[in-house]
Amino acid sequence: MMATVDDLVLLLFPQGPPPPVGDGPPDLPLPADVRELLTRLGSGFEVDNRFHVTVNENTPKWSRIWWRNLRQVHGSDEVTIMGDAPLRGVPLRGAEGGDYRIVFSDLLFLGSDDNGANLYWETVGDPDQWALLAHSGERWARHEMSTVDYLHGLLSGSFRCPVFTLADWPEADLDVVLST
């Protein structure tokens, strides 16, 4: 099933969404579904004080900080994944999607969880076609799906990503707060 923005908003706020917080979507290239979501909610949201999605005018600045961190960890500006092993950098386990190259300067930070896992867009081509990359420690997972589909599947428990450890989250009644 393809999730819509309505489906994700209903999952996050079963009693109806609160008024948007913040300025809404920033003037950046973004996937259309994310622009619609941020128009409805504001600049982002936090689930159970454990998973944060925030997109605002500072997103490119925060992304550059994450690029430096990734460069430092991997000793390179990129890493190539062959199945589940990188050609450069520290050994990675749990990579999905076959062979691909991750160029850190192509990543735009989308969110994180309280275990240090991060979610990025791979900003190559049309924003509506951007892949999502989840990363934690030595683990990468690449997903070619819409951001709303990914978030709905992840937060509803219908989709499992090996990077985010959401199995112990409540199945219902997520505690969601809008970010400023």
Contact by Cβ (8 Å): 93, 138: yes
Q: Which residues contact 95 (CB under 8 A, 6 or more apart)?
A: 81, 83, 84, 85, 86, 139, 140, 141, 142
Residue 40 has pLDDT above 50, yes or no: yes
- Give the whole-angstrom CA distance, residue 174 versus residue 88: 39
Contact by Cβ (8 Å): 133, 119: yes
Mean pLDDT comparison of 4-8, 45-49, 76-80, 133-137, highest-scoring range: 4-8
pTM reported for the whole predicted model: 0.85
| Token couple for 171 | 């199945």
Taking the CA atoms of the chain, what radius of gyration do you get in angstroms? Answer: 16
Residue 95 has pLDDT above 50, yes or no: no
Q: Hey, what long-range contacts does 153-161 have (CB within 8 A, 24 or more apart)?
A: 153/3, 155/8, 155/11, 155/12, 155/47, 155/51, 156/11, 161/134
Confidence of residue 139 (pLDDT cuts 50, 70, 90): confident
Q: What pLDDT score was predicted for residue 92? A: 41
- Average pLDDT of the chain? 83
Residue 168 has pLDDT above 70, yes or no: no
Residue 165 has pLDDT above 90, yes or no: no
Q: What pLDDT score was predicted for residue 32? A: 96
| pLDDT tens digits for range 50-61 | 889 989 999 999
Beta strands in 48-158 (DSSP E): 51-54, 78-82, 85-86, 100-103, 107-113, 118-122, 131-136, 139-143
Q: For residue 148, how far is the Cα from the chain centroid? A: 10
Confidence of residue 75 (pLDDT cuts 50, 70, 90): confident
Contact by Cβ (8 Å): 66, 109: yes
Confidence of residue 7 (pLDDT cuts 50, 70, 90): very high
Task: Give the residue extent of every domain in the chain.
Answer: 42-83+99-179
**C-alpha to C-alpha distances, 19 to 42, 50, 101, 178, nearest whole angstrom:** 8, 22, 40, 9
| Residue of higher predicted confidence among 169 and 40 | 40
